[in-house]
Structure 1
Amino acid sequence: MRRFFFPGPLASEMIITGDDGHHIARVLRLKPGDYIIVAGQDGQACKAEIISVDGSSVKVACRQALTESNEPPVEVWLAQGLPKGDKMDFIIQKAVELGVTRILPIETAYTVVRYDAGKKAARRERWQKIAYEAAKQCGRAAVPEVASVQTFSSLLKMTLPETVIMLYEGQPACGLKQALRMTPSESYLLLIGPEGGFSPDEVLLCRQRGAQIVTMGPRILRTETAALAALTAVLYERGDLGGT
């Protein structure tokens, strides 16, 4: 059954418009009496019956509340150094499928890609749409937010999750698995550098912020590989990827 997100809490009756309304009415050609799954911003979901279709405006009524547990039991933010090409599209899609909570694209000292204000806004809109489609496809209860592109220093000034973990190939003493088992937490921020990794100054700033500097092992991973491998490791060790 197809899943759609409603931009608000669930109600007994809702009207779905925009791209989703067009997709339901014009692409899928669903009609009154057909059923879809609707998930609200409150994380609740229901089986909904289509009541009427008017152009790209679709009216639905909740018929059965669904008790879902599709979200991971831990919160994981991914701060990703901007990679070259379209790698960010891939990272966002797969991170959402795995269970990421929030994605923060960052500019670092070694970032090659630089966007002006207009390009940043356009990229964010594109990335949020990718996150939305991935969340629909894999049955998420909520759509992870893709934040605006920001600098590394501005990121560290934010209110961040309880545990901050930076992946850095120059830190062989502590592995990610060891860090996760030593400091169990309910929320994590994973810091992943771009193709050139992090600068020594950025590592120092993270140490001063109380971050754990860890390695993923003896091999140097591409930025897109490191991001998804680290996210998988956290959700396997502390989340739900290992099963119940």
Structure 2
Amino acid sequence: MRRFFLPGPLTPEVVIKGADARHISRVLRMKPADEIVVVSADGQAGIAEITRFNEHEVTALLQRTIAIENEPPVQVLLAQCLPKGDKMDYIVQKAVELGVEAIYPVAAEHSVVKYDQAKRQARRQRWQKIAGEAAKQCQRSTVPEVKPIQGLAELFNSLDDDVTVLMLYEGLAPMGIKEFLTKHESAGSYLLLIGPEGGFSTAETDFCRRNDVRFLTMGPRILRTETAALTALGIVLYEKGDLGGYRESKN
């Protein structure tokens, strides 16, 4: 059953507008009495029956609420230094499918791409659209937010105190990611910091050391930035009970 995200709460009558309304009417060619899954901004879901629509607006009546428990048991954030070309499109799509909580695009010193303010806003809108489409496809309960492009210092200033930052570093990291996750008490949430194609600069690694970042390795081979991001995300989620790993009872 097709899934659509609402900007607000779940109400007896829901209205879907914009691109989703056009998709329902023009692409899916749905009609009155067809049912869809609607998910509110706070993650509540329900089955709704379409009552009327046009290409700009679809109205549906809520038939019943449904329980959806498909979000990861741990919050994992991804801070991805800007890669070349359209790699970020791929990273956003796959990270959302895997279960990322939010994505922070970072303008690093060695990032090849340099965006002006208008381009930054346009890219963010594009990535957010990709995140929304991926969330629908894999039946997420929420759409992860793609944050504005920012520098490393801005990123650290925006983080909550209970976030543990893990830097996947191609240099001589003292500990493997699995060893860290199994030996240390679980954090409130994890942020994975992934460098660009040119790697982190000396100034950036020094900044991270001063800010209690954990330097970790995923082995002796140098991974492409998009490979490192998705591999690290999968490892953390699995080790913390998602993606087929053991999930502890909430009782």
Q: Which bracket does the TM-score occupy, shorter chain normalised?
A: over 0.9
Q: How far apart, in 2, do the equivalents of 1:223 and 1:110 lie? A: 12
Letter in 1 for 2:167: M
Deviation at 1:239, TM superposition (A): 3.4
Matches within 5 A, 1:1-244: 1-160=1-160, 161-183=162-184, 184-243=186-245, 244=247
User: Shift in Å at residue 47 of structure 1?
Assistant: 0.9
Using structure 2 for the length normalisation, give the TM-score: 0.94
8 Å contact from structure 2 (residues 174, 215) kept in 1 = no
Provide the C-alpha distance between the structure 2 equivalents of 1:129 and 1:172, rounded to a whole number of angstroms. 35
Task: Report the residue type matching 1:57 in the other structure.
Answer: E
Tell me the TM-score normalized by structure 1.
0.97
SS at match of 1:240: coil
RMSD: 1.1
- Write the distance in 1 (CA, Å) between the matches of 2:244 and 2:211: 31
Cα distance between partner residues in 1 of 2:143 and 2:56: 22
Aligned residues: 244
Structure 2 stretches of 5 or more lacking a match? none
Report the 3-state secondary structure (helix = DSSP H, G, I; strand = E; otherwise coil) of the residue aligned with 1:157. Answer: helix
8 A Cα contact 2:39 2:45, kept in partner: yes
Q: By how many angstroms is 1:169 displaced?
A: 1.0
Could you tell me which amino acid in structure 1 is paired with residue 71 of structure 2?
E
Structure 1 stretches of 4+ with a deviation exceeding 3 A read none
Equivalent residue letter for 2:229: A
Distance 1:140 1:114 in 2: 32
Query: How far did 1:56 drift?
Result: 2.5
Is residue 50–residue 58 contact of structure 1 (8 Å, CA) maintained in 2? Answer: yes
1:177 shift after superposition: 0.7
Question: Identity of counterpart residues, as a percentage?
Answer: 57
Q: Is the 8 A contact 1:24 1:30 kept in 2?
A: yes
Report the AA paired with residue 88 of structure 1: M
CA contact (8 A) 1:26 1:56 kept: no
Distance across 2 between alignment mates of 1:217 and 1:193: 16
Instruction: Please give the per-residue CA displacement for 1:48-105, whole angstroms capped at 9, x wherever unaligned.
Output: 1101113421101111211011111111110000000000000000000000000000
The structural deviation recorded for 1:178 is 1.1
1:9–1:42 CA contact under 8 A, matched in 2? yes
Instruction: Write out per-residue CA displacement over residues 106-160 of structure 1, whole angstroms, 9 at most, x where no aligned residue.
Output: 0111111100001000000000000000000000000000011101121122224
Deviation at 1:214, TM superposition (A): 0.6
Q: Distance in 1 between matches of 2:47 and 2:15?
A: 14
Q: Is the 8 A contact 1:164 1:188 kept in 2?
A: yes
Query: How has the CA–CA distance of structure 1 residues 225 and 15 changed in structure 2, closer, same or farther, with 3 Å as cutoff?
Result: same
Task: Give unmatched runs, 5+ long, in structure 1.
Answer: none
